Structure 1
């Protein structure tokens, strides 16, 4: 890695930690005992569980003072996510929407959301992504990351693998040009991370992070637009997102280069950050459950089950938000029209009424609808990409002989009230 690339990786790691700090607040590193108590005693709580600990909340990112309640039980969270008629999503764009010109699928409702989602969905369909898993994802992850790591015998797997590989893969899926040592990839990732760090409870911090998020949004746009224009000018037809968007029609019209750039910027926000954290969390759970690790190493068909179970047990996005379009009743409690609800995905994912052995990492767990990618009409469109690139990276990493945590470093800790993840995962193996 050249000096500029190393500097860009340093900046990306710094911005990653800024997101962790933003969404940890004053909450406990392990919030699950507290969430279990609330789920049992106050399944619909008056107030916002995130705001209580100084964490920016999707229920009121803009700090408008709107009333907020928190919902903890799986059946209630699941029902709200399914019902886009009575529970709206526009509040999801309150915080960093301005940094991306409010072009966020997660913040769209009704016909607008249906229109754009139907337009983009074919590019994210399972058969399309599965075809690219072996032709694009595996070669990139192996050539640029695991093949370089293996001779070293040790690494911080957050910094040297989990952080860079997801954005590099998505960069290729979009159809961006190869930038050699990944300099541009890491710049793009850092700008996306700065946008995510924009919302703050503390006005003094917001005075710094707010303008930085706006600047990062503009930088992303300014750097992506020439790439999109060059692709159109070249006339190249490829199997990537930019080509797809340049050819697809909406109501008889093609997207402009500026519109495509806006969509690409929007997708970059979710493309890497959540996958990086999810992959690191998955590794920690496997390290902490060596029997499961050996089962997966011996039978790679279990990789997808391991991914699902890790995302259930400790999801990165532990909360989502909706707002009541009319007076609603949840678990016997009235939620007045205009009241936002923070949906505790973390609490719902460990609800014993839905999951047997809810606090265990259990590969043989019976299937239930997973809420960690959302659910219903707004379920994450990029979930197949995230799952497949994590599966490839884990498969390659499990080939490292005697892979284990490095006893010379502190045991990794997954932390945060939201955007949960580990700052580092130091591992060693027989080189």
Structure 2
């Protein structure tokens, strides 16, 4: 059973995992020239005010590492502000309506059983490679209308959307230092994805189908059709929203339950508790621990004045453990009411794939509980995490299981 975060090899900047808290709810890091927001009310305010706290960081990055960055992000919802964000988001929201999600339930259950059958589990299961990664990839591929058999390619492209980090975590701590290579890699990966999608885009122009890719190809925004690059970039976002979040959610929920065996026993005995377990896991181990914004004008946050054109890091993981909002925040306590965690962000950039991640998590975990009477981490083979302050992403979660 994993009980110490240190044994997971998580990044030292994830101080909030170990129960420590910053001295201030907002501070300035002179080394990285970044403003950090740790408090929950302050983080919610930043995320809910796109006019003052813009998601368009491309202008800062372009000034420091080259103007090609903006071109590379054409159609990138994560870096757009209204009104264009509103119009493009409306297009992709169709992939995640309550009806679409309800129709996916039997398919997700079938795929979960098939993947576990394929894994030929005896007494050991590597959760990520066997289930947590392929399940959401197959689902989002089918929504888009591209072959799920290309899942390994999807994984490479999806991971290219997340800035790679080293022990120094240069992508955040070093601001944009060293980002030239990161940007070139991202551009190259997106070029490959665009080339891959090109034949499917052209096919949907000739013969539309009942899939999301057809909807994007034939949609109009401001009286114009989307370019192939915009379609590919939106598909990138869907790949990230519909895949990475679920992969992390499944792994992190199992790790939370493994570290709290009493809660594991309770949810096994009463499956109605599972949604509460998932929500608390999202608060406790958020897949993405930080997000960023840029001030468009002078802004006051938590009694601190931030000048315009400043990079603001919003620490979702720390905000989720703000004692002003969460009673006994370091405790894993399913059923918190309320539980206003910011894991899926807040406002116009609320995670598109949140509903799908919750659905896939609930179905997959129920099936795991049905198939295996015992599930536990291996003391001599702990999970491997990406060493990053930006996310809590387990590359591997080896489990001992028994029927």
TM-score range, shorter chain: 0.7 to 0.9
Q: Structure 2: where are the runs of 5+ without partners?
A: 1-7
Tell me the secondary structure at the aligned position of residue 146 of structure 1.
helix
Give the Cα separation in 2 of the matches to 1:123 and 1:303: 25
Give the Cα separation in 1 of the matches to 2:17 and 2:244: 26
Is residue 161 of structure 1 aligned with residue 134 of structure 2?
no
Alpha carbons of structure 1 residues 254 and 127: separation in structure 2 relative to 1, 3 Å:
same
Alignment partner, residue 46 of structure 1: 28
Q: TM-score, normalized by length of structure 2?
A: 0.84
Tell me the secondary structure at the aligned position of residue 294 of structure 1.
helix
* Deviation per residue, 1:332-378 (Å, 9 max, x gap): 11111222211111111001110112111111211233310110111
Alignment partner, residue 71 of structure 1: 37
Alpha carbons of structure 1 residues 111 and 363: separation in structure 2 relative to 1, 3 Å:
same
Alignment partner, residue 173 of structure 1: 143
Tell me the secondary structure at the aligned position of residue 342 of structure 1.
strand
* Deviation per residue, 1:176-221 (Å, 9 max, x gap): 1353xxxx11112112213424574589975654433222111111
Q: How does 1:286-301 map to 2 (within 5 A)?
A: 286-301=257-272
Which of 87-96 and 119-128 deviates more?
A: 87-96
Q: How does 1:327-366 map to 2 (within 5 A)?
A: 327-366=298-337
Is residue 421 of structure 1 aligned with residue 393 of structure 2?
yes
* Deviation per residue, 1:372-418 (Å, 9 max, x gap): 01101111112111211122211111112322225463333656422
Alignment partner, residue 11 of structure 1: none
Contact conserved, 1:192 with 1:268, CA < 8 A, in 2? Answer: yes
Tell me the secondary structure at the aligned position of residue 37 of structure 1.
coil
Alpha carbons of structure 1 residues 409 and 169: separation in structure 2 relative to 1, 3 Å:
farther
Counterpart of 1:121 (choices 87, 93, 98) is 93
Aligned residues: 382
Q: How does 1:6-405 map to 2 (within 5 A)?
A: 27-28=11-12, 31-32=15-16, 36-38=20-22, 41-47=23-29, 67-91=33-57, 94=61, 100-134=72-106, 136-143=107-114, 145-149=115-119, 151-179=121-149, 184-197=150-163, 200-201=170-171, 209-235=182-208, 237-238=209-210, 240-255=211-226, 259-405=230-376
* Deviation per residue, 1:249-283 (Å, 9 max, x gap): 43455445554333213322343223212221111
Alpha carbons of structure 1 residues 345 and 151: separation in structure 2 relative to 1, 3 Å:
closer
Contact conserved, 1:103 with 1:266, CA < 8 A, in 2? Answer: no
Alpha carbons of structure 1 residues 244 and 420: separation in structure 2 relative to 1, 3 Å:
same
Alpha carbons of structure 1 residues 204 and 71: separation in structure 2 relative to 1, 3 Å:
closer
Q: TM-score, normalized by length of structure 1?
A: 0.79
Shift of 1:69: 1.0
Give the Cα separation in 2 of the matches to 1:213 and 1:246: 23
* Deviation per residue, 1:268-327 (Å, 9 max, x gap): 234322321222111100111122112222222222211111110111211111122221
Contact conserved, 2:280 with 2:333, CA < 8 A, in 1? Answer: yes
Give the Cα separation in 2 of the matches to 1:35 and 1:87: 29
Give the Cα separation in 1 of the matches to 2:47 and 2:288: 14
Q: Structure 1: where are the runs of 5+ without partners?
A: 1-19, 53-66
Alpha carbons of structure 1 residues 259 and 328: separation in structure 2 relative to 1, 3 Å:
closer
Alpha carbons of structure 1 residues 291 and 99: separation in structure 2 relative to 1, 3 Å:
farther
Shift of 1:173: 1.5
Shift of 1:171: 0.9
Give the root-mean-square deviation of aligned CA atoms: 3.0
